[in-house]
Structure 1
Amino acid sequence: MRPAVHLAVPVDDLETARHFYGEVLGLEQGRSGDHWIDWNLSGHQLVTHVIQHAHEEVGSSEVDGHHVPIPHFGLLLSPDHFHDLSDRLRSTGTEFLIDPYLRFPDRPGAQWTMFFRDPSGNALEFKAFLDESQVFAR
């Protein structure tokens, strides 16, 4: 088994989370219970757990002239998958915290990035590197 991340995130409403993560983001649903759902996040296990008053933002950090919400989580995608997802998010009326754009163009680590929140207020970032070998480039 290859190493994979397990991430648990709080949500306010399980059915709203089921729609957002399953229909809007297109993640495959795994096991579930009365208060949680497992999701396949490209081979990583994302678990949404119902907790009242789930969202708590700590703050933000400035990156490339944008205020990046802390905490956040997301996924590295291929450029084609990134643009397909950003189009799908736009078509569903998702409000972006940071609209999809090319960060650090003509520099090491050039990447497409976008930030938005799930219905419970969790910040998500999805990005795509122009050159995958540049993920950790300085």
Structure 2
Amino acid sequence: MNKSEILNIIQIKLSEKIENLERLINETRASNNETKSSMGDKYETTREMVQQEINNLQVQLNENIRAKNSLKLINSNLHQIVGLGSLVQTDKGLFYIAVSLGEITFNQKKIFVISTESPLGKALFGKKKSDEISLNNIRQIIQNLW
């Protein structure tokens, strides 16, 4: 498994999410500026709702920027113990320990990109090949580790 290529896919996905969020923020700001009304309170309520949406998008944007910056800490070397940057194969699936991103596809294989702070990430952290973990009463055995 080429972890450098997987990391590159993750960086691209995060960059796309960041660009999309920036576009949404700009579009929402533009629509907020275009909203004109002589109805007083209704106008202010609408403006406040739009501002809350902008704030929510900004929080998501900041989280994705932080996640992308944290990828710089990842070492693509082979790992003997599960940690940041590990690619872990269990009998239940493939997991890349990096940031919370969800599922990606690499060489026709599904890989779940998870954070070290996720329940599964915490359960896997510090384990090695052949170790067993249990999460939500589901046993998983680490079959391979890169």
- TM-score using structure 1 length: 0.25
Q: Which has the higher helix share?
A: 2
Q: Which has the higher strand share?
A: 1
Larger radius of gyration: 2
- TM-score using structure 2 length: 0.24
